Amino acid sequence: MDNEGNASSLEDIIADGLDGEYEDRIPALVELLSSGTPYHRLMACIILTSWGHPTGFQFLIKWASSPNSSPWSQEPVSVDRIYGVNDAFENLADALKTSYWNDETAELREMQREAAKALLSIYSDYFFGQTLALALLKDPVWQSSRQNEIIDTLKSCMQIIQSSEWRDFDLPYQTACLLLLLAHSNDDMTAEFAEQLITQFPNNDRMLRELALALGESRGQATLQILNRLKILGLPTVTTEVNKTISRRQTKT
């Protein structure tokens, strides 16, 4: 409910709260984080994290650091509509992304980075889709001084992809999304990861289009060769994306 007693969506509550309209609800949300049902604990964490509240980040980091102890570990309380898998951490990553709408402070940036680090540590095991990668793009530090953490996460993803321990969601696509964070600064390694994904999944149209998008953030010859290889595959939607990417790279050169 909003302050007038009308039904309101979670997104509207979060948006209004970013303007400071629901400060009086924060104590109840903090209490709900510890005492509510698993679903309501997740919702409270999403709201508080979105608003940049320290308690929201505290619980997000706690649950991401020990996912088997999260309130929904035994039974999901939220599932992705496409894959039908637990999407609690994807929703928390979205809350992290939303938190960047708050006024920047040193304390908030540190909480955001610690939350991102915790979520990255489980990236290969849980569904995130594109959301965590987009959240990390909000903070340039992930494309500069913390590249090793991105690389370690990509390696973990590739280990699972190349093993028999497969997941119930599109991990190759999710891995390709994270290459957006690497492409800005490491052309050779971006191309190496992309090559591995293409070799193993030459018909994963969604993943290949995401790769083309990510490679557009790079400027080196190694990724350009990968883009040309994507064209050779002959998948129409992929070729269209590759042509857009090459054109974009030429414009920025």
Q: What is the pLDDT along the chain (253 residues), one digit of tens a residue?
A: 445 555 568 888 888 878 877 788 899 999 999 999 999 999 999 999 999 999 999 999 999 999 999 999 999 999 999 999 999 999 999 999 999 999 999 999 999 999 999 999 999 999 999 999 999 999 999 998 899 999 999 999 999 998 866 678 999 999 999 999 999 889 999 999 999 999 999 999 999 999 999 999 888 999 999 999 999 998 999 999 999 999 888 876 5
pLDDT of residue 164: 67
Closest CA to 226 of 237, 147, 238, 236: 238
Domain positions in the chain:
1-138, 144-168+175-253
pLDDT at 238 (0 to 100) = 94
Predicted pLDDT at 6? 53
How much is the pLDDT for 1? 45
Predicted local confidence at residue 21, as pLDDT: 74
CA-closest candidate to residue 53, choices 98, 7, 120: 98
Q: Compute the distance between CA of residue 182 and CA of residue 194 in angstroms, rounded to an integer.
A: 11
Q: CA–CA separation, 106 vs 89, rounded Å?
A: 24
Predicted model pTM: 0.93
Q: What b/e readout covers 108-142, taking b as 16+ CB neighbours within 10 angstroms?
A: beebbbbbbbbbbbbbbebbbbbbbbbbbbebeeb
How far apart are alpha carbons 13 and 8 in whole angstroms? 7
Please report the pLDDT score of residue 117 as a whole number.
97
**For residue 248, what pLDDT is reported?**
86
The pLDDT value recorded for residue 168 is 86
- Output the pLDDT for position 18: 86
Q: How many CA atoms lie within 13 A of 182 on its CB side?
A: 25
The dihedral built from the CA positions of residue 20, 25, 29 and 30, taken in this order, carries a sign that is positive
